[in-house]
Amino acid sequence: MRLTAVAEIDATRLASAAGAHGPLQAFADYRRMLDTIDDLDIVHVTTMPGFLVDIVLDCMARDLHVLVEKPPGMSSADTKRIAEAAAGSAGKSMVSFNRRYMPQILAVRRLMQDAGGAVHVSGTYNKPVTTLGTPAMAGITPDPVICDAIHHVDLLRWLAGAGDTAATPTHVHALVQDGPRAGSHRHNAVIRFDTGAIGSFSSHYGVGQREQRAEAHAEDLSAYLDLNTEPQVQLSRAEAAAGGTTRTCTQAPVLDLTAVGGAHFDEVRHFTDCILEDRQPWSGLQDAVITMRLAEAIRGGHQGLLP
């Protein structure tokens, strides 16, 4: 794979990208890039969500393969719109929910499925106050849980899922308690999934530090994931013990990264494989509509059955 061209409306950033990744063709207007270069295969659209939809639609209209940065638009309505365009395009498309493609997460997920599927998943996604959710980002990004903590909303669906499919939420009970400062959005939610797994989600902006953690549990199996930097996974398994009880094995299960594509597998590798092998990506746009709606339900303090 080769980076052929970059489009960026900010002249300083354009020059910097061309310097860092060149030689390549640099464009101030992405449409001119699409019109000029006739052998583009894949376009990565990585603008803020408020500017993303038209660019993605232009690429799809040209039947290009499109890797769409998260969140795929400002709302689930935006995502649905580009999902409909994707259905009419000869190009493939995928959302960069990159947590799904981390080798450690894929290996944990495989262990869960071998143990009969996750029964409980949880995710924590905390940060100090950012510009997200403040007036400075109005019209450019949606609320932080939809723009950013969506990584862990999607991760819960993925860990609770089966095969190549993320679980679908059926019920959400969310409590929202924002702080007094702009951007200090706070959520706790319990989610029921169609696979039988229950999820708990916690995301707080305007707290002391960035913290990204997750858990997944199946019968006699637990995984605790520290996702702050390179994923660290603590695994334990229980085994039968005397008197009909169980005890934690002294030898923890081992993550098999080779079986899930190797230590360097990621979303770009998956998308490329899907194009070369004519397969549907795991995080296609139709599927992303479900994650966007779940993030919106959490932000909206939804209680009960999802429509």
Q: Which residues bind ligand NAD (CB under 6 A)?
A: 7-10, 13, 30, 46-49, 51, 55, 69-70, 96, 98, 147
Least spacing, CB of residue 59 vs ligand NAD, in Å: 12
Least spacing, CB of residue 140 vs ligand NAD, in Å: 8
Least spacing, CB of residue 241 vs ligand NAD, in Å: 42
Q: Between 111 and 147, whose beta carbon lies closer to ligand NAD?
A: 147
Four-point Cα dihedral 267, 273, 276, 278, nearest 10:
-90
Residues 291 and 149: beta-carbon distance below 8 Å: no
Q: Between 77 and 240, whose beta carbon lies closer to ligand NAD?
A: 77
Please name the residues in contact with 122: beta carbons below 8 A apart, sequence gap of 6 or more: 156, 199, 200, 201, 202, 214, 215
Q: Between 238 and 268, whose beta carbon lies closer to ligand NAD?
A: 268
Q: Among 106, 121, 118, which Cα is nearest to 256's? A: 106
Least spacing, CB of residue 161 vs ligand NAD, in Å: 19
Q: Between 119 and 140, whose beta carbon lies closer to ligand NAD?
A: 140
Q: Between 58 and 198, whose beta carbon lies closer to ligand NAD?
A: 58
Least spacing, CB of residue 198 vs ligand NAD, in Å: 26
Angle between helices 76-87 and 285-299 (to 10 degrees): 170
